[in-house]
Structure 1
Amino acid sequence: MLPREKVLRDPIHDYIYIQHEVILDLINTKEFQRLRRIKQLGTTNLTFHGAEHSRFTHSVGVYEITRRICDLFLRNYPTKQVGDGLWDDSERLVALCAALLHDVGHGAYSHTFEHIFKTDHEKMTRQIITSETTEINAVLQKVAPDFPEKVASVIEKTYPDPRVVQMISSQVDADRMDYLLRDSYFTGTDYGTFDLTRILRVMRPYSGGITFDYSGMHAVEDYIISRLQMYQQVYFHPVSRSFEVILAHLLKRAKDLYQQQKLPVNFASRLLAPFFEGDFDLKAYLALDDGTLNACFALWRTCEDPILRDLVIRFLDRKPLKSVRVPADKKELLPTLEELVTQAGYDATYYTATNDSYNLPYALYDSKAKILLSLQNGELTELSENSELVRAVTDKELGDERFFFPKQMLSPDEQKDLFEPVYQEFSQHIKNDKII
């Protein structure tokens, strides 16, 4: 323990209380400080301009919620004897470290980079925690030689205490609760707001994990609907997805040029070479953040290749692709639309995409995923069996599939081009934001 607790000011939680020296030391490692340079919401700031918050701010927020849960459990449900299912506070430190480090393996621009270069942030998280080459591992080793493995196993959901695992990873966990409140705040929306204090008050440990007092059911309902709304209104916003498509395509174009030995040899190509070649190590991975990728894009802005140059300009200067919904019975039209884009002078490989974004507001895919309510007699009952509101969205995938293309297909740069057959034919297939 620290001789005197330290605090971080936070717009969501007011104060984040740091009471353990190991937590402070982890925050000060170079691997954790790297998270300051990775935006929590990737390209979403190009839609909601306030969304400039980082993985760092989210991670310390998850730590703080987990700390509050531990405090409430210790105060109200301390273990009396082995196997009683109540809270053993000796698990606190592993829970706090796992909460703090759960996102430490995220890469530059997170999921888009991960998709193109086949990286896996969860595997990288484990490697950062367990590799003896990292400062994080050295800090954890000071607790105990096996402590890094324990922390990694919490994040991997293999840790033997289900209460600790569910604090960090479940359908109502510290991770989701923080990002909903934080993302809502920084995007300037109210969709993600819910009564965090009430939810924490009604949480309780039991032998199988964490449950909620029946009296708190409506607070949990509110949380689930808030999550649904954030996905529909913020995370799945068409403009944000457009920039994810552009980012993915410009990275793919750079990779294709590199493999053809046509990418200029400079800082960018040297930095990304291990990823273009599919042979990167932890050091190369940690050298990347949003800023280093943006530096690469700045160099490519004046490159000779017209496709890479144009994609970079679209990304840096905020020139999104247009998109329309793809009804299930209209998917057969996609090859036709791609061909029309090609006829208009665009390479469909880099200027079109089909992107689907779906989310389950509440899922019952296995017994561990269920949200359980505690009745006064001690029995447990599943949430959707008691809440008509939650039952209405249970196991229902919500979202859409969209086709992305240059907006010039519907509004060419030259007004006269509107009368060219390729644009007229393309426009005939689009009406009211969907393919017809």
Structure 2
Amino acid sequence: MTLYKDQKLPIEKVFRDPVHNYIHVQHQVILDLINSKEVQRLRRVKQLGTSSFTFHGAEHSRFSHSLGVYEITRRICDIFERNFSVSKIGAGGWDDNERLVALCAALLHDVGHGPFSHTFEHIFHTDHEKITVEIITSPETEVYQILNKVAAGFPEKVASVITHDYPNPQVVQMISSQIDADRMDYLLRDAYFTGTEYGTFDLTRILRVIRPYEGGIAFSMNGMHAVEDYIVSRYQMYVQVYFHQVSRSMEVLLEHLLNRAHELYNENSDIFQQHSQLLIPFLKEDFTLADYLKLDDGVLITYFIQWVDEDDAILSDLANRWLSRKPLKSAKFKENQTALIEKLCKLVEEVGYNPKYYTAINSSYDLPYDFYRPKSGVHRTQIELQQKDGTLVELSKVSQLVAALAGQKTGDHRYYFPKEMVDRTLQANYDLFSETYAEFARHIKNGELVE
């Protein structure tokens, strides 16, 4: 009798995918995980959150991304087994007994994401990585029950890949490093669905030059330009898509909306008993894994629609602004302009807006590439190139292009405020507050704050 971990499907199953063409599933374990309720929930969680308010095609889900990460990982495993197995190259080669744990970790790496992931996490103090581990290791979940059929302790093995504690660095770096299956899929997928070209790179070439070594994963030296292309694509996606000022504005509105709901619940919990019951455990900050798994984007959006009719003017208005795509306007500012921001907040308050809910400071920064810095408290796994003699060299040491980007943060600081402050057509009480509006507008020039 074939053990569950070794069971292959009688005929390979495929999922048609706009990025990878076909996603191939051969293992019964993988198909069962895909069909589990925890993974199916990811169909109802958008991959890019509020970015669809800017790029209307960005409606793709965490589910499709998870399948994509699985597929790239499967291809890497095939390449490693075909060309770089332990039997072929010895120490530092790929042990194909690691395949199943790598595939399961790839498929499940995002299973703990909640609705509007990072904004929700910030408000309700959840952590999608910790919840991912909990989903994988909790006997209450279908995911755990499937993994546990593979072998006792197998769920914990898969979870240890997510937490970077798994003893094989090749498996860990396949899923999480500066050039991994996760990043490669989301760049290509996000570029496709946003309709941009920034995130495209030569995946075929990257997979041609990838190889295992004892300390993890490297890339052959003759593939350096393909890796450079990937780094630049990632940089451009952050600048042009992930840090887009309108997407961030909608995140700010969402954060303020959830904060207002949180504040109102603390004042009068009865408000949410009639229509927002699934959110109550989070409003009172006492939730279980079962509570978490009931939430998705659609649940929250339904509540927002109901909040539009609530008596609280701020909750109602913020919900309407978010649903109707009426983003706050923004301007870049410098770190030494805090006094000016305080002044502008007072002007916003003077015309009738609560600055706590109608203004915000939002800073978005990311490192396009980082190299190992022993003195840094947090560092990323650096990208290694393998030379003909087998020795390794860190990417930025041989690539002038990457060296120029390495360690350089990209992003900006923005001050968000109601568009009404600078748009004459929206200023209902212009006659009463004309001087206030004029004073505010005087400090906004070409999208930046000026003294």
Identity %: 61
Would you say the 8 A contact 2:420–2:427 is kept in 1? no
The equivalences for 1:119-130 within 5 A come to: 119-130=126-137
Q: SS of 1:105's equivalent?
A: coil
TM-score (norm 2): 0.95
For residues 133-179 of structure 1, the C-alpha deviation after alignment (integer angstroms, 9 at most, x for no partner) is 00000000110010000000001111000000000000000000000
* Larger CA deviation: 84-93 vs 263-272: 263-272
TM-score (norm 1): 0.98
For residues 76-134 of structure 1, the C-alpha deviation after alignment (integer angstroms, 9 at most, x for no partner) is 00102897010000000000000000000000111110110000000000000000000
Asked if residue 98 in structure 1 is aligned to residue 105 in structure 2, the reply is yes
* Larger CA deviation: 304-313 vs 321-330: 321-330
> Structure 2 vs 1, CA of residues 82 and 194 (structure 1 numbering), >3 Å: closer, same or farther?
closer
Distance 1:213 1:28 in 2: 37
Q: Structure 2: any 5+ residue segments left out of the alignment?
A: 1-7, 375-379
Q: SS of 1:354's equivalent?
A: strand
Q: Structure 1: any 5+ residue segments left out of the alignment?
A: none
Would you say the 8 A contact 1:95–1:164 is kept in 2? yes
Letter in 1 for 2:406: T
Aligned match of 1:220:
227
RMSD: 1.4
> Structure 2 vs 1, CA of residues 416 and 112 (structure 1 numbering), >3 Å: closer, same or farther?
closer
Asked if residue 380 in structure 1 is aligned to residue 392 in structure 2, the reply is yes
Aligned residues: 436
Runs ≥4 residues deviating over 4 A: 365-368
Aligned match of 1:422:
436
Aligned match of 1:162:
169
Q: SS of 1:72's equivalent?
A: helix
Distance 1:365 1:408 in 2: 47
> Structure 2 vs 1, CA of residues 113 and 263 (structure 1 numbering), >3 Å: closer, same or farther?
farther
* Larger CA deviation: 44-53 vs 360-369: 360-369
1:331 shift after superposition: 2.7
Letter in 1 for 2:437: Y
Aligned match of 1:231:
238
Q: SS of 1:15's equivalent?
A: strand
> Structure 2 vs 1, CA of residues 420 and 62 (structure 1 numbering), >3 Å: closer, same or farther?
same
For residues 273-299 of structure 1, the C-alpha deviation after alignment (integer angstroms, 9 at most, x for no partner) is 111111100010001000000111111
Q: SS of 1:356's equivalent?
A: strand
Asked if residue 371 in structure 1 is aligned to residue 383 in structure 2, the reply is yes
Would you say the 8 A contact 2:421–2:427 is kept in 1? no
* Larger CA deviation: 379-388 vs 367-376: 367-376
1:366 shift after superposition: 4.5
Q: Of the candidates 289, 300, 313, which is equivalent to residue 296 of structure 2? A: 289
Aligned match of 2:151:
144
For residues 32-82 of structure 1, the C-alpha deviation after alignment (integer angstroms, 9 at most, x for no partner) is 000000000001001000000000000000000000000000000010289
For residues 352-371 of structure 1, the C-alpha deviation after alignment (integer angstroms, 9 at most, x for no partner) is 00000001000114576110
Q: SS of 2:393's equivalent?
A: strand
Would you say the 8 A contact 1:340–1:426 is kept in 2? yes
Distance 1:263 1:185 in 2: 44
Aligned match of 1:6:
13
Would you say the 8 A contact 1:254–1:263 is kept in 2? no
Distance 2:303 2:443 in 1: 37
Distance 2:272 2:120 in 1: 21
The equivalences for 1:159-308 within 5 A come to: 159-261=166-268, 264-308=271-315
1:333 shift after superposition: 1.3
Letter in 2 for 1:198: R
Q: Of the candidates 403, 407, 411, which is equivalent to residue 395 of structure 1? A: 407
Aligned match of 1:132:
139
